[in-house]
Amino acid sequence: MGRALNAHAAADVPLPSRAERANRTERPQSVSLVVEDMHCGACMTTIERALRRTPGVREGRVNLSTRRVSIAFDAAVTDSQALVDVIGAAGFKAAEAIEGSSEQENRRADDLLRRLGVAGFAAANVMLLSVSVWAGAASDMDAAAASLFHWLSALIAMPAIAYSAQPFFRSAKAAIGARRLNMDVPISLGIVLATGMSLFQTFRGSHQVYFDAAIMLTFFLLIGRYLDEHVRLKARGAAENLIGLKSLTATVIGSDGTARRMAARALTPGMRVQVAAGERIPVDGRIVEGESEIDESLITGETLPRWAKPGADVHAGTVNMTRAVTVQATATDDSTLLAEIARLMQAAEQGRGQYVRLADRASRLYAPAVHVLGALTFAGWMLAGAGWELSLTYAVAVLIITCPCALALAVPAVQVAATSRLFAKGVIVKAADGLERLAEVDTVVFDKTGTLTRGEPVLRNGSELSDAVLAKAASLAVASRHPYSRAVVRAARERGLTIAAASGVVEIPGSGLAAASPAGEIRLGSAEWIKSGDPSGGRTGSLRFADANGEIANFEFEDAVRPGARDVVSALKLAGYRVALLSGDRETTVNAVAQAVGIADAWAGIKPNGKICFIEDLKARGRKVLMVGDGLNDAPALAAAHASLSPSTAADISQTAADAVFQGQPLAPILETMTVARAAQRMSFENFAIAIGYNVVFVPLAMAGYVTPLIAALAMSLSSIAVTANALRLRGRNLPLESLRRTA
């Protein structure tokens, strides 16, 4: 059932050697730019086209979800500032991505929320005045009073529009300056014309005033823009979090034996670095002095630490657990394996960024069509002899009626309803289009350690141990942070035992714990150490406890399978999904877990880029893969997959890379997430049908002159309410597991 890495094509693609990574400086330089005011597929195409025409640019890829552009360029021909200017000339403001850029994104979302509040407050007050005018018209309201109400509406609406609609005005101005169209151009034109016409009619004392339509239009469009920004805010690039896994400083041993602290970025190959117990290793290198246990779970996914002796290779980002060691650096800073994983992460993210949603594709034709319809309406009524005022009024109504509010809310409204439901079930959806991609998957690939299993050792033979023995062992174990010691303490607490910490506990790194008791010495440690008393005794996959009388008890550990894992796998297979297991762990361990959960396709010993190769191979065959993983070694695969999930116990980088994160030990939230995603996809198409149907009905009426700008704004608002109400049904809707079944 299980197959080792060399049985799969992914094995033929090894990780780059240290020499290859060290020579990366000879390759084209790269830069990541943050781009503002990029909202649709047309914006993405404009930027990529501008970059392709730029001398020295080897490659430019846009990630629409995170509003980032990744550019590879020849430093001898151009530089990052020149690339910023190129994007600026295309009508977009860009800046080099730096740490803390998420704060800028938060400020943008907060700014939209403030503008939304102002527009909502103004719309409510202007509507009250409009209702008064309508009611007064039926009872022959005094013309002076009606004019006063119109001027009050102007005083409220015009400053509010000038402030609240600035995001649309700025975007439209940049687009026109770059000689292109986007969806904000007709939006801005409709708002400006409705406001200008209303002011003109107010001066004339006419009743054809539509300040309420202009401010309501602004309010509802800001709702859609804020929802979109709020969802995008959760989709920041995952590779940024890798900085938290780096050691920022290092202790360097000079040729004269003196130690000095220096920045990890300043280290060079050949330097000797001392790493104390508990510190992260700052470089890729080889141990030259000392022995210790190295926690390599970030790289391999293996929960148990590896015993490393002189000559053993170690990697940046891993943790030295027990004894101080000296490491001779072979690769530093951007040439380390950790940096390589970051590059894999960025490449995978950009590949996923090419996914263009239905609304984005529609937007490429929407803006020109709106202008054409508005112009045809104005020209048609002018030819019919209606006069420029009436013709312009009907054209404004067409611009308002075709404003893409319902279309813009179609997907975000469903996302809000779906994410609220999943949040109540312990699932946090992070990616802007994550639900759409989750609904499309046909293959589910699981990581083993920390995903199908708990990711931490648990005491397997606890039922064979007496309360007295377990309590005594826990009294020693509570003094250590070793994974086995924590498992012993956890087992004692789960049994309800009182743990009295032993006094004078001595921890012998790599061997075990010892303490004096009234009856003699007690020990908890490796079998070799307990048996021989030799502190250099190597560790094994179990512990032994020896009391003062020489009685010995075995403590055996395992990485237990998560609750309900077999049921989840069975449900997925029954629903028609292909299920596979990828792991960097040993083949025997992978086989045992695969058999326990019922997965036939299991692959062992796969490195981070091997997982990407496996997923890319499936994608080349037309499969759409859901990756479920938790370790740093899974992060590039999570980003490369069509969709991804991660448990809340995962590394920060993996949680950031995943489209959704689920809480708790059971895997049942995976089924809930996929079921809700399928329902959300159906509901999104329903909302698109509502938005399209609204346009099919009201656009001809507006062009025929049966719709005033005010009625157009109300109709546009009702269409938005309709798609929102339809989306809210998802929150309380019963979704049976049968709805997960694939039809294809």
- Annotated catalytic sites, by residue? 447
Where are the alpha helices (H) located in 273-336, listed in sequence order? 297-300
Q: 10 Å Cβ neighbour count for 201?
A: 18
User: What is the secondary structure of 618-667 as a DSSP string?
Assistant: HHHTT--EEEE--SGGGHHHHHHSSEEEEETTS-HHHHHHSSEEE-SS-S
Contact by Cβ (8 Å): 48, 61:
yes
Bridge partner list, 33: 69, 96
| Helix, strand, coil in percent for the chain, rounding step 5 | 55, 15, 30
The three-state secondary structure class of 303 is: coil
Query: Residue 477 is encoded by which pair of tokens?
Result: 């174990």
Long-range Cβ pairs for the range 95-103 (8 Å, 24+): 95/33, 95/34, 96/31, 96/32, 96/33, 96/34, 97/32, 97/33, 97/34, 97/68, 97/237, 99/240, 99/243, 101/34, 102/233, 102/236, 102/240
Query: Residue 112 is encoded by which pair of tokens?
Result: 């939209």
Pick from 329, 319, 330, 257: nearest CA to 292: 319
Q: Which residues lie below 8 Å from residue 551, measured CB to CB, with a gap of 6+?
A: none
C-alpha span between 94 and 87 (Å, rounded): 7
Q: Is 498 exposed, middle or buried (0-12, 13-18, 19+ CB in 10 A)?
A: exposed
C-alpha span between 627 and 452 (Å, rounded): 12
Contact by Cβ (8 Å): 199, 158:
yes
Q: 10 Å Cβ neighbour count for 181?
A: 18
Contact by Cβ (8 Å): 108, 204:
no
* Token pair 């010995």 in the structure block, residue: 552
State how beta strands 57-63 and 94-96 pair.
unpaired
CA distances, 598 to each of 42, 452, 634, 672 (Å): 46, 11, 22, 20
CA distances, 63 to each of 47, 66, 73, 262, 355 (Å): 11, 6, 17, 36, 9
Pick from 524, 534, 516: nearest CA to 555: 524
| DSSP conformational letter for 279 | P
Query: Residue 470 is encoded by which pair of tokens?
Result: 């377990």
Contact by Cβ (8 Å): 294, 315:
no
The three-state secondary structure class of 578 is: strand
CA atoms within 13 A on the CB side of 684: 21
State how beta strands 542-546 and 520-525 pair.
antiparallel
Handedness of CA 274, 275, 280, 285 (dihedral sign): positive
Please provide residue 634's backbone torsions phi and psi, each rounded to the nearest 5 degrees: -90, -15
| Cα angle 630-632-635, degrees, rounded to a multiple of 5 | 75
| DSSP conformational letter for 448 | I
Pick from 603, 558, 362: nearest CA to 455: 558
In our burial notation (b when 16+ CB lie closer than 10 A, e otherwise), range 579-591 reads bbbbbbbebebbb
